[in-house]
A and B are shown apart, each in its own frame.
Chain A
Amino acid sequence: NAGVTQTPKFQVLKTGQSMTLQCAQDMNHNSMYWYRQDPGMGLRLIYYSASEGTTDKGEVPNGYNVSRLNKREFSLRLESAAPSQTSVYFCASSPREGVQPQHFGDGTRLSIL
């Protein structure tokens, strides 16, 4: 029972490089989410996908793009990485959007130099 799997676990990039963070869930959930966690800031929603084929912006979408590849997979892309995007990124899923707990992956620790 893998739940939510994120790859890679760690990555170091140079400013301006591009990168795609991968996320897959095996719980047949409809909704998927990307968050970033920064010291003293809690978890902030970047993008979410309520269901396969739809994506919407969260609180902090600038500098990111997402793709809901299929029901299982939701990727996050940094087209031109900036030091301000150094963070821990968490993917989550829930059976559907709304009043339901989310299941989180173990995170991707991204450093941008």
Chain B
Amino acid sequence: DQQVKQNSPSLSVQEGRISILNCDYTNSMFDYFLWYKKYPAEGPTFLISISSIKDKNEDGRFTVFLNKSAKHLSLHIVPSQPGDSAVYFCAATSRTYKYIFGTGTRLKVLA
């Protein structure tokens, strides 16, 4: 029973274009969502988060959108850069210790 799903295992985008990474969740109790970025042989690093009281949060080139009715969030990276090539995990929580992670999407930005 996967409560947080990232249905695209991989994504390739040209440098300078927009990257859109998607995440779906099933538990309506989730009210805080995060995106982490992971390079090989390193731990995940926090990228951006959004509370369920918002539908959008921006931080530089990164924007997260939340559609509560569809139980869907997405991460937009504009413009994409080769250094953005990594695995991206979304995570969700209902304000407990338990963060439920998706399986990750490997983004490759082509120069």
Q: Which residues of A contact B (CB under 8 A)?
A: 4, 31, 33, 35, 40-45, 48, 50, 56, 58-59, 90, 92, 97-99, 101-107
Contacts and interface: CB of A to CB of B under 8 A. Distances in A.
Interface string B65-97: 000000000000000000000000101010111
Contact of A103 (B32, B46, B99): B46
A106 B38 CA distance: 10
Contacts of A33: 97
By CB atoms of chain B within 10 A, which of A41, A90, A99 has the most? A99
Contacts, number: 56
B43 A106 contact: yes
Contacts of B45: 104
Given A58-B98, A99-B95, A41 B103 contact: yes
B49 interface: yes
Contacts of B103: 40-42
A3 to B, nearest CB: 9
